[in-house]
Structure 1
Amino acid sequence: MGVDGRAVTVTALTHRGAVRQANEDAVVLGALTVAGADMDAPARCDLPLTGPVVIAVADGLGGHAAGEIASEHAVHRMAESNHQLNGPEDVDTLLRHIDDEIKEHALQHSEFSGMGTTVAGMLLTPDGSFWFNVGDSRTYRLEGSRMRQLSQDDSPALPPSEDGKPVTTNFITQSLGGSGSTAMTPHVGADPEPGPGAWLMCSDGLSDLVSLEEMEHILSESTGDDAAVHTLWKAAMEAGGRDNISILLLRRH
């Protein structure tokens, strides 16, 4: 706990899924990062909220080596800058710098051409809570038994499916790095509810395979955060687990 009693609890799991040979996802929890891991159970991290704390998931794009390097670079840079991120303007600037750095690395190493990563997360400060994303990884705010998406998907709108299952696409309109010719513009905003709260961040390995309604049911029925994160991961695996799966359940006390 922080000296003023304020703290952040994060329950995290990142896994390669049932099909991929490696995990190109990475996560950042304040000054801590996890990249390329294959966790078999959720891990809990308690962080004092005496200063800025950034919590985010990054989903690498562009093939195993390139995607893994891009997502790991993104979370390492966020961890390095954690205590300097005092608000949305700082997050916007950092994400633009990361975008430039990944593109420059790809220019210098032709085998990594097109490498990129999505990112979605929260910046918590003693005075506020701010969400951010680029790509189709997501951040949801938990509101009782319901979830409200804060992040904005950088993917084309698709018509609803006839069977009621989630409609997904592998195409995204922007990422950190990547092969897009247009300038990258991060989505950054203030959470509308000040004070304590709970949020879920995930890569599309979860949200593409598990419907919002099923996620809400799992969260409302679980006996604790460890059980909730594990059950969400299990639901994605049972739905095919065709992509890497990363889940962060964050509570601000």
Structure 2
Amino acid sequence: MLTVNRSDIGRIRLANEDRSWAGVTSGGLTLAIVADGMGGHQAGDVASQLAVDAFREAMEPMQAGVSAEEAQQYLRAAIRRANEVVYDMASRNEQYHNMGTTVVAALFIEESLLLIGHIGDSRAYRISAGAISLLSEDHTLVNELVRSGQISFEEAAHHPRRNVLTRALGTDEEVELDLQVLDWNSGDMLLLCSDGLSGMVSDEEMLEVARSQASLEEKADRLISMALAAGGDDNITVVLLQSGAGTDGEE
């Protein structure tokens, strides 16, 4: 599995509160995670870094060949552990009070099976057969309004409270994870991103980049550039994964 991991501070923020990782665990499994921290000065980047580190550490013992059921248990346990670590740090340190982070994680347990877990509004997309589909559902106030029919999808894109989360990792002692087990085709591409990309670049624009003849690295760089050109209002993180002859994992 080929993996590419890119992040940019954007044009407005004073610090990059996004953290991400993509690569192969010691157990031989392809794993990726994007976390978008929140909580004010320094707290957001602390939350996202703690979450990524705790998640990776908890996933390391997992070995290739596990069943889908075992993989789901590992993923849930790793997210619970990340939540504990962030919540404990926030509880014990006044400067980190109420910090938290979004999380979207992907685990390939075999060539044809993918697990996606997420909390918050960082997203997972599948690009397949010339189409792009959103695999995750935003845990935001605005998305709740859309689901209840109070506002339209078009209105949601420009709503003044569109970034208000209804669920985040580390803000409460317990957290609910949305987890999916999906079939995976060898020609598919997976995109994980923070809302610094999805809030600035349309699905159609993402698809156009994904379908281009550029390398995976060039596609990730192009997506970052497009978000910056659209205003770069937030930190921007892009992780791309695609089946290939080798694996290029980056911190």
Pair in the same fold by TM > 0.5: yes
- What is the TM-score with the length of structure 2 in the denominator? 0.82
1:57-94 deviation line (CA, Å, top 9, x unaligned): 11011113111111001111122233334511211121
| 8 Å contact kept, 1:57–1:137 | yes
| 8 Å contact kept, 1:24–1:59 | yes
Listed as ranges, the gaps of 5+ residues in structure 1 are: 1-7, 31-46
Change (3 A) 1:167 1:206: same
Secondary structure class of the residue paired with 1:221? coil
Match of 1:14 among 7, 32, 36: 7
1:159-185 deviation line (CA, Å, top 9, x unaligned): 2337xx94461101111112x58x420
Match of 1:209 among 200, 203, 216: 200
Please tell me whether residue 150 in structure 1 is matched to residue 141 in structure 2.
Answer: no
Letter paired with 2:109: T
Match of 2:102 among 113, 118, 129: 118
Match of 1:98 among 63, 82, 103: 82
1:31-54 deviation line (CA, Å, top 9, x unaligned): xxxxxxxxxxxxxxxx48962232
- What is the TM-score with the length of structure 1 in the denominator? 0.82
CA distance in 2, matches of 1:211, 1:153: 15
1:89-131 deviation line (CA, Å, top 9, x unaligned): 2111211221122111111101111110111121112363211
Please tell me whether residue 218 in structure 1 is matched to residue 212 in structure 2.
Answer: no
Listed as ranges, the gaps of 5+ residues in structure 2 are: 147-151, 245-251
1:199 shift after superposition: 0.3
Letter paired with 1:65: Q
Change (3 A) 1:217 1:97: same
* Residue matched to 1:52: 29
Match of 2:124 among 119, 124, 139: 139
CA distance in 2, matches of 1:66, 1:198: 32
1:237 shift after superposition: 0.6
1:231 shift after superposition: 1.4
| 8 Å contact kept, 1:141–1:198 | yes
| 8 Å contact kept, 1:52–1:83 | no
Please tell me whether residue 234 in structure 1 is matched to residue 218 in structure 2.
Answer: no
Q: Which moved more, 1:239-248 or 1:183-192?
A: 183-192
Please tell me whether residue 67 in structure 1 is matched to residue 52 in structure 2.
Answer: no
Q: Looking at both structures, which has the greater relative contact order when contacts are Cα pairs under 8 Å and sequence separation is at least 6? A: 2
Paired-residue identity, %: 29
1:2-30 deviation line (CA, Å, top 9, x unaligned): xxxxxx21111111001111101111224
